[in-house]
Structure formats: structure tokens, C-alpha cells
Amino acid sequence: MTHTSKGEANKGVQREHLFRKEKKKSAKQQIDATLEEIYNERYELSDEDDDSDWDPLEKQVKAVKWFCINCTMVNLSNVVHCYACGEHKGSGIVSLGCFASPLMPEGDIAALELDATEKPKGSFQKGFPSDSTMVGFDERMLLHDEVEMKSHPHPERPDRLRAIAASLASAGIFPGKCYPIAAREITRKELQMVHALENIEAVEFTSRLHASYFTPDTYANEYSACAARLAAGLCADLASTIFSGRAKNGFALVRPPGHHAGVKQAMGFCLLNNAAVAAFAAQAAGAKRVLIVDWDVHHGNGTQEIFERSKSVLYISLHRHEGGKFYPGTGAAKEVGSMGAEGYCVNIPWSRGGVGDNDYVFAFQNIVLPIASEFAPDFTIISAGFDAARGDPLGCCDVTPAGYALMTQMLSPLSGGKLLVILEGGYNLRSISSSATSVIKVCFAYHDRRHFS
């Protein structure tokens, strides 16, 4: 071999070494990737475990990865606890124990699909005390699901609602201490207050398709449009019910989430903007000033876009930003509103992950509450994503159920208790269920301290 060919061979070995090193790092780096990157990235295995060149003529090897049932993260076969959330490989939390929701067993999917096509639109529910806490939920929202898994189970999945519903039921909260509100699908006229007609029609069109995607991470099936309209309809009716004094406060246990959905685009798992629909419904009922506090770990770019020129809606968001590197990249502190509404959009961007209760409480005490109090809202909406919760695979932060409860407690008095909490993100089943339960406890405890513990 010549000197030149030896040199080229050494360079080739070095390149191969670097390539293998980068492959081994990819799994560790995955937890810091953006929402869309996590979902679409092909999972890379180390050379020892690589099964990409599986040959049907050779002896088949055992599976070398498993997906966590609690948080959906991928793990290598030689570990028994999820690297992201610690859940055991053989966990049965969805089918057994506390997360086996009594509201809709897995085997009832066929009946629910029939129900989705035949069930009437729904009507306003009467006969509950005016100081009650309402919960908006409809099992048809569980039919919104990804038809075929890509390289990774989709984190925004029906089990999120099942887990929360099961937690509330086991605590005797709902059904029990909170009252249900009948579901209805939002009308096109109501949606046109928020979204462009082209976006509304794009969502509606998905009901004709078995499977479709708005963006690589935002799926739809034939039931997704109905689920999105039900979610928006529940939020609208809860807002008008609470503002008009027919209920004290409420929690919208809904999906798909909404705060990334903008005027013209569905994105970030979101089809229709539930918080924006609720804000307009409250205004239609007579609200003059609506406060939206968004504590989802991702910036609510859709909500900000919808209200960035409005002085009647104050939008405050706390989120990971990292100089625009964290999904969706918007939400810098300099984004304050426009066209005469400067100051009615307040962004509190975190420069890193790992922020927890102390960080959020400090921001609430020194930024959120002073600004919100000066605004003096007569209706308050929380875009309650629980993906900043401890153990969430996408947020990688450290907020506890007690932290979420305290933030809810701080916001409750702002509008005389007229508060609507709307579920956004959150992808660790244990974290999202315990956090949502803590928040709802604060809601009904606000008018009955005997129930809070």
C-alpha cells in the first residue's frame, strides 16, 4: 500500500469513528430536541445493537428497543426502566390499576365510533348549582388518534385523557364533586371569529380521509375534525357558563390541544385554538377584559398571533425558548403585541430546561400577577399544558403538582373566581394526571375549602 493510500485509509477510519460516536450520542441528545425533531427522528442504535440490516435469511434477533407506555420514549432492550421517566418496561398502567379509565374501556372503540356518527350535537346542561365547578369532557375526543405509527409512538394520544379521567374518578372528583357539561360541536360561525375559512375547511376535510397530516407532527384521522369541534365547543360553553354566573369555574378536559393553532394553520398537535374560542365566547357573554395565562412548556404561538393586535385580551406565556431553538421558536421577550396593542402580550422565556416550582412562582409573583392585576380581567383562562411537569419527555422541566396547584390558586381570585382551565400539552401519563387533579382540586376548593386537601 502506498503512503497516499495509507493516509486515505486512516482518514476513512477516523471518519467512521466519528460517525459511530455521533450515532451513540443521538439517543442522549434526543431529550433536548424540539417537538417535531423528536417525533420524526429515526432512532439510531449503537453498532452492537444495530438491527437496520436485518436479513430474513439469518436467524432473527430479539427486539432491541421498547417504547415507554407512560411517556412514549424509546429505550434499549438492556434497560428495564425508562431513561426519561423511570417507568418499568413491563408497566401495565394503561390497562391495569389507577389508569384503567372507567369512562371508556379499550374494547368499546367500535361502539364509540358508531356513537360519533349518530350522537346528536348536544345541548346546554341545566340543573347544577351556580357555585359549582364544571368539567367538560366527551369520550368521542378519544377517537382522535394517529392511524399508523411512524418511527415513534405519537405523544399526543388518547391515553392522556384516559389517565386524567381515571385519576379524577379514583379521587371521587369527577364524577363526584364536579359537574359535567353537555358537549356540542362548535359552529363554523363561531370558528370564523378565530380562524380563517381555509383553515376551518382544511380541518373539516380530514373527516373524508382515513389518515392525514397537517405538518409532520400533526396528524388527523376521520374522527379528528369532530373531536376538535367538540373540544372547542366545550371550551366555548364553559366560558359563557362561567362568565354568566351559572357556574363558578371549570376545567376543559379536551383534546386535540389548541394553543399552537393559528389563524391559518394547524400545527404542533393542535387543530383549532380552544383558548381563543373560549375568549371570544366570554366576550360574547359580556366580558370586557380576558386574561389568558399559558404555562405550557411550549410557546402558544397560535394564541399570540390571534390576539397580538387586541387590547381586550392580555396574553401571558411562560415557556422554554432558548434563544428561539426550542419549539416553536417564537415567544421572545421582545414580542409584546403590535398595531397599538403593545404590552398586551407578555412573554417569559426560559433560557434552559430544568426550571421548576421556584422559578414559576417567582415569575408569577414578580411579573404575572402584577401585570394581570393592573389589567383587571373579568374572565381568566389558563392554557394548562402539563409538559413542564417533572418527568415529561418533551419539556424536561421540574414543575410538581403542588406547583401547578399554587399557580392556579394565585390566578383564581383575579376575576372574582371566574376561571376556565383548558388542557393543552403534557405527555407523561403519571405527571399529567396528578397535575391536572391537583389543579381541579383548587378549582372546587375555591368555593368550598372543606374539599381541598
Question: What positions carry a catalytic annotation?
Answer: 260
- Is the Cα dihedral 396, 397, 401, 404 positive or negative? negative
Taking the C-alpha atoms of residue 218 and residue 55, their distance in angstroms, rounded to an integer, is: 33
**Strand, helix or coil for residue 273:** coil
The three cell numbers locating residue 130 = 351556580
Closest listed residue to residue 234, CA positions, set 381, 111, 123: 123
The three cell numbers locating residue 74 = 424509546
User: Phi first, then psi: what are they for 221, rounded to 5°?
Assistant: -125, -170
Taking the C-alpha atoms of residue 35 and residue 395, their distance in angstroms, rounded to an integer, is: 9
Collect all residues with Cβ–Cβ distance below 8 Å to 77 and sequence separation of at least 6. Answer: 49, 62, 63, 64, 65, 66
Q: Cβ–Cβ contacts within 10 Å for residue 122, how many?
A: 16
Contact criterion met (CB below 8 Å) for 85 and 391: yes
Type of residue at 382? I
Q: Cβ–Cβ contacts within 10 Å for residue 310, how many?
A: 18
Q: 429-445 and 159-170 helices cross at what angle (nearest 10)?
A: 50
Please report, in angstroms and rounded to a whole number, the separation of the first and last CA atoms in the chain. 78
Taking the C-alpha atoms of residue 140 and residue 224, their distance in angstroms, rounded to an integer, is: 9
Strand 74-76 to 65-67 pairing: antiparallel
Type of residue at 144? H
Closest listed residue to residue 398, CA positions, set 360, 424, 433: 360
Q: Cβ–Cβ contacts within 10 Å for residue 240, how many?
A: 21
